[in-house]
């Protein structure tokens, strides 16, 4: 895997070399892949267009993350956008506090499925996170759609309305 040209790493989900990596070697590769691969957010003046990961990117993320057995906030930070590949079982194994402290990372990850988002949101709220103002709702980013409607009804309407005016929240 280390001998592959950078751009080919982005399509290396079938590589046995990745499946044999562990620990620091794997996290080093993930960092490199995060830097060179993936969908780029395109900014035009003040508008940001978020691009969903391709099927190949999702497959690569799953291959990369399946090797990881211990997941905490430090691991999640190292995974960055590759955390989209974490299985629901892996996400369930993360402590509520580690999920809460990793909100900044999870909020930026596009391509999470409904189950992943729901588990993350449940863990965040179980950790004591409260949506008390626009900033705390907008901070949930990409996982905000995992908030159950019952929970959203408890949020002050002005907070929801003000959040809907934030371009980062709406996209």
Per-residue pLDDT of the chain (171 residues; tens, 9 = 90+): 667 788 788 888 888 888 888 888 888 888 888 888 865 544 455 544 557 888 888 999 999 999 888 999 999 999 999 999 999 999 999 999 999 999 999 999 999 999 999 999 999 999 999 999 999 999 999 999 899 888 888 888 888 888 888 777 665
Q: What is the pLDDT of residue 43?
A: 47
Whole-prediction pTM value? Answer: 0.85
- Distances in Å between the Cα of 170 and the Cα atoms of 139, 142, 161, 163 are 12, 10, 11, 8
Q: Please say whether the beta carbons of 132 and 126 come within 8 A.
A: no
* Residues whose CB falls within 8 Å of the CB of residue 2, separated by 6 or more in sequence, listed in order: 17
Task: Give the Cα separation of 122 and 150 in Å (integer).
Answer: 12
Identify the burial level of 16 via C-beta atoms within 10 angstroms of its C-beta, where 0-12 means exposed, 13-18 middle and 19 or more buried: exposed
Report the helix count and the strand count for the chain, using DSSP H and E. 13, 2
Q: Please say whether the beta carbons of 60 and 84 come within 8 A.
A: no
Tens digit of pLDDT for each residue in 33-63? 888 886 554 445 554 455 788 888 899 999 9
E strand intervals along the chain: 42-44, 47-49
């Amino acid at each position: 895997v280390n001998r592959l040209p950078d751009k080919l790493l982005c399509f290396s989900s079938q590589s046995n070399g990745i499946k044999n990596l562990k620990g620091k070697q794997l996290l080093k590769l993930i960092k490199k892949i995060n830097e060179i691969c993936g969908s780029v957010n395109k900014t035009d003046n003040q508008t940001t267009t978020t691009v969903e990961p391709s099927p190949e990117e999702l497959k690569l993320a799953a291959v990369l993350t399946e090797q990881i057995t211990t997941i905490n906030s430090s691991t999640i930070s190292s995974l960055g956008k590759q955390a989209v590949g974490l299985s629901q079982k892996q996400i369930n194994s993360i402590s509520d506090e580690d999920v809460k402290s990793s909100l900044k990372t999870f909020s930026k990850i596009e391509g999470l499925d409904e189950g992943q988002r729901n588990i993350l949101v449940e863990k965040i709220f179980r950790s004591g996170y409260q949506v008390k103002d626009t900033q705390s709702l907008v901070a949930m980013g990409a996982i905000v759609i995992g908030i159950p409607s019952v929970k959203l009804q408890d949020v002050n309407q002005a907070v929801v309305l003000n959040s809907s005016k934030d371009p980062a929240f709406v996209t």
